[in-house]
Amino acid sequence: MNAEMTYKKKPSWLRMPTMGSEEAAKVRSILRKYSLDTVCRQAKCPNLGHCFQRGTATFLILGNRCTRSCRYCAIEHSEGTLDPPDANEPGRIAEASAEMNLRYVVITSVTRDDLRDGGAGHFAGTVEAVRRKIPGVRIEVLTPDFQGSEDALRTIANSEPDVFNHNLETVERLFPDIRPEASYGMSLDVIELYGRLSPSTPRKSGLMLGLGETEKEIIIALKNLRESGVTMLTLGQYLQPSRLHWPVDRYLTPDEFEAWRDEALTMGFVSVASGPLVRSSFHADENFVMGAKKS
Ligand code: SF4
């Protein structure tokens, strides 16, 4: 497929006003001060200005190059050897979180298939460092699939994050094209296994829409997520990061996202954030409160 031909013009509802507020500038300077990266910047998230203005950010650990190359992702892929985890990174994230007065911290990472534990130990160390620094803080981890490793998931569970998030991202039929190194079944198994390791921790997942999936396939994916124990859901519009990435099939309207939100709530999800600009950790703090109230 020639991506050039299919680079679709964005509809009005996807145009985010640029936010250059004092708060956003403060977040940027804190991230620079502690040499920290965010998925917000690396994945070209359209909400960066908005979230920075809210004083929030999603920390990206384990470097900014990934061992995988999902066709929708703006994060740089690496064939070569990657740097070992930075032992000081957990402490720096804890310091930055405190300086940003965060009460809800989201930690995510690239996929590190080159590491024996996939980086699970570094994730756990970061959760523990943030919790030591900010007692009572809520922590959400948005993790890779750790190639389905039970040991890696147990390491994460033992650090007791408040929310376990693993994105399914798309429907089963599109996995071979869009997430060639991942597996639909493995992602569902990871979510289910985490529930067995930590039954009281809410599980969250998300789908990008507009990649070429059908409505029937979305319903099946939502059913599979409910069966694997997911209660918190995000649904957002896929945006093509560059002409070399998987093309947008179509832009869903805000009304369609609203309809999917209603559909998901009738399927038993307790917290559903659904909208063109919704991303995994968009207003994650509010979604957590919504989910906690209903569970
Ligand atoms: S595994 Fe994650 S970070 Fe890596 S390419 Fe895929 S979506 Fe991007």
| Count: domains in the chain | 1
pLDDT at 1: 40
**Is residue 49, in this structure, part of any structural domain at all?**
yes
Is the pLDDT score of 18 beyond 70?
no
Give the residue numbers spanning the domain of 263: 17-294
**Is residue 7, in this structure, part of any structural domain at all?**
no
> Cα separation of 93 and 37, whole Å?
10
pLDDT at 284: 83
Interval 133-164: pLDDT, tens: 999 999 999 999 999 999 999 999 999 999 99
Cα Rg for the chain, rounded, in angstroms? 18
Ligand 1 mutation pick, 69, 70, 72, 169, max ligand atoms within 8 A of CB: 70
Q: Which of 144, 196, 136 is nearest to 165 (CA)?
A: 144
**Is residue 25, in this structure, part of any structural domain at all?**
yes
Q: Is the dihedral of CA 47, 178, 249, 258 positive or negative?
A: negative
Contacts of 281 (CB under 8 A, 6+ apart): 39, 56, 58, 106, 108, 140, 142, 165
* Closest approach atom of ligand 1 to CA 75: 8
Is the pLDDT score of 46 beyond 80?
no
Residue of the nearest CA to atom 3 in ligand 1? 110
**Is residue 144, in this structure, part of any structural domain at all?**
yes
Interval 61-99: pLDDT, tens: 999 999 999 999 999 988 888 999 999 999 999 999 999
Is the pLDDT score of 6 beyond 60?
no
Is the pLDDT score of 8 beyond 50?
yes
pLDDT at 3: 44
Does the Cβ of 70 fall within 6 Å of ligand 1? yes
In this structure, are residues 236 and 279 in contact, taking their beta carbons and an 8 Å threshold? Answer: yes
Q: Tell me the percentage of the chain whose pLDDT exceeds 70.
A: 95
pTM: 0.94
**Is residue 5, in this structure, part of any structural domain at all?**
no
How many Cα atoms sit within 13 Å of 62 on the Cβ side?
A: 28
> Ligand 1: distance of its center to the CA of 266 in Å?
30
Nearest-10 Cα torsion for 101, 105, 106, 112: 100
Q: Which of 189, 30, 169, 39 is nearest to 101 (CA)?
A: 30
Please give the order of strands across the beta sheet that includes 163-165.
37-38, 58-61, 104-109, 138-142, 163-165, 203-209, 232-237, 271-274
Name the more confident of 54 and 33: 33
Q: Please report which confidence band the pLDDT of residue 2 belongs to, taking 50, 70 and 90 as the band edges.
A: very low
In this structure, are residues 143 and 166 in contact, taking their beta carbons and an 8 Å threshold? Answer: yes
In this structure, are residues 279 and 287 in contact, taking their beta carbons and an 8 Å threshold? Answer: no
pLDDT at 20: 58
For the beta carbon of residue 237, count every other beta carbon within 10 angstroms: 26
**Is residue 12, in this structure, part of any structural domain at all?**
no
**Three-state DSSP state, 66:** strand
Ligand 1 mutation pick, 41, 42, 75, max ligand atoms within 8 A of CB: 75
> Cα separation of 205 and 223, whole Å?
12
Q: Please report which confidence band the pLDDT of residue 113 belongs to, taking 50, 70 and 90 as the band edges.
A: very high
* Closest approach atom of ligand 1 to CA 110: 3
Does the Cβ of 111 fall within 6 Å of ligand 1? yes
**Is residue 284, in this structure, part of any structural domain at all?**
yes
Name the more confident of 80 and 295: 80
pLDDT at 23: 78
Task: Please give the average per-residue pLDDT across 204-225, as a whole number.
Answer: 98
Does the Cβ of 69 fall within 6 Å of ligand 1? yes
**Is residue 10, in this structure, part of any structural domain at all?**
no
> The domain spanning residue 155 has which CATH number?
3.20.20.70
